[in-house]
Structure 1
Amino acid sequence: MGRIKPQALLQQSKKKKGPARISVMTIIMSSLIVVLTLFFLYATYRHWSQRSRFQIENKQSVLEGDNSFMDPKKSDLPGYAILETAKGSITVELFKDSSPEVVDQFLDLCQRGHFDGMLFRHVIKHYVIQAGDSDKLGAAEDWTLKGKHYSQLDTSLKHEAFMLGTSKAKHDKRGFELFITTAPIPDLNEKLIVFGKVVKGEDVVQEIEEVDTDEHFRPKSNIGIHRVTLKQSI
């Protein structure tokens, strides 16, 4: 067997080391690509996150600007009234937005104690209970004179049950009447201003509705409102 010359051995060793150098370079280049890719993704994420945060802050500032134009007095007004009666409590949500003037007048009268001790003057089953200082039927007069009944009402109901309203007729504060409907009454839309809705105590309203009355729908025994408590929320 012939001897291999040293020069030939050197060339063979270089050929063997060649692939190792290529694999190292490949690893280095791959690592650089991965690092650059991660850096690009991080930069993109940071850019869009900052942009989203900026948009959210802008929206919040716009909303705060809109809220600054709201009437603070209106938002501070009580939103609920609790009518305490001999039969129990009736909680009413007040429509401050749709009937602001009537609600303001009602709140003023409540603070003056106007409704304390006020009697329910008329109780008409399947129709309405009426409280007030006047012994006249007022908005309910046409109904009672014509002898209408709940079964004859229009089916396209506009005036829901358990709504709180007062007469549209001009009256002084002493003549402020309260009506709570016990059935949908579309005919009352032209006569009543609805400014609230019973949200708790419907059973109390129905119990008052069941009291005995005379031929003029006046309760045979006195039943009224002991006091009215105003609440911001319930």
Structure 2
Amino acid sequence: MADIKDPENTILIELKDGQVVVELMPDVAPEHAARMKELAREGAYDGVVFHRVIDGFMAQTGDVANGNADKDFNLRRAGTGGSSKPDLSAEFSKLPHDRGTIGAARSANPNSANSQFFINFKDNHFLNGQYTVYGRVIEGMEHVDAITRGEPPADPDKMISVKVAADA
């Protein structure tokens, strides 16, 4: 079991193969960490698919508007939406996009992150300083590695549930 130091800033993501434990970094990206906790507590991420999974790069999810496989799922539109909350300003830092880090997905506008995020399969340092890093996988990376690939995958995996550890 993961050594959870701060349950209020730890996210538990249940995938088909097991649990992924994410340590948020509110000291580095407070708005992004707060948004992930807010959406997790609302249940907004539950059932949302990984709509863009590129082997050797990353797995992207979090389109709460279009990507819920249990509700209004639209694979053609998955990845084009966010939440009803306002977009977040970039919170760039010196943290590198290493394997297992969580990055905020966005459009070409650096201040357009909302609910979507990606998990790096490997060190992707070409993203450094361009996308907000606000968490890292501390356990369960083997489950992330097992996510079905595709843009979009023909039969995408989903986040079964996403919870704040303090609430679990």
3-state SS of the aligned residue for 2:35? helix
Q: Which residue of 1 aligns with 2:111?
A: 170
Pick from 225, 229, 234 the counterpart of residue 159 of structure 2. Answer: 225
CA distance in 1, matches of 2:167, 2:62: 26
Q: Which amino acid aligns with 2:40?
A: C
Deviation of 1:159 (Å)? 2.0
Q: Select the structure that is richer in helix.
A: 1
Alignment of 1:52-201 (within 5 A): 78-133=8-63, 135-136=78-79, 158-167=96-105, 169-171=110-112, 173=114, 176-201=115-140
Per-residue CA distance 1:78-117 (angstroms, 9 max, x = gap): 1210101122211001102111111111111111111011
Deviation of 1:137 (Å)? 8.0
Whether the aligned pair in 2 keeps the contact of 1:166 and 1:177 (CA below 8 Å) is: yes
CA distance in 1, matches of 2:139, 2:167: 13
Per-residue CA distance 1:182-225 (angstroms, 9 max, x = gap): 000012124321110000001101111xx253xxx221112110
Whether the aligned pair in 2 keeps the contact of 1:85 and 1:224 (CA below 8 Å) is: yes
C-alpha change, 1:127 and 1:78, in structure 2 (3 Å) is same
Q: Which amino acid aligns with 2:59?
A: I
Alignment identity in percent?
26
Deviation of 1:233 (Å)? 10
Unaligned stretches of 5+ residues in structure 1: 1-75, 139-156
TM-align CA RMSD? 2.8
Question: Normalized against structure 2, the TM-score is what?
Answer: 0.70
C-alpha change, 1:89 and 1:77, in structure 2 (3 Å) is closer
Q: Which amino acid aligns with 2:131?
A: L
CA distance in 2, matches of 1:172, 1:102: 8
Aligned length: 134
C-alpha change, 1:191 and 1:114, in structure 2 (3 Å) is farther
CA distance in 1, matches of 2:60, 2:29: 19
Deviation of 1:77 (Å)? 7.3
Whether the aligned pair in 2 keeps the contact of 1:122 and 1:137 (CA below 8 Å) is: no
Q: Which residue of 2 aligns with 1:56?
A: none
Unaligned stretches of 5+ residues in structure 2: 1-5, 64-76, 82-94
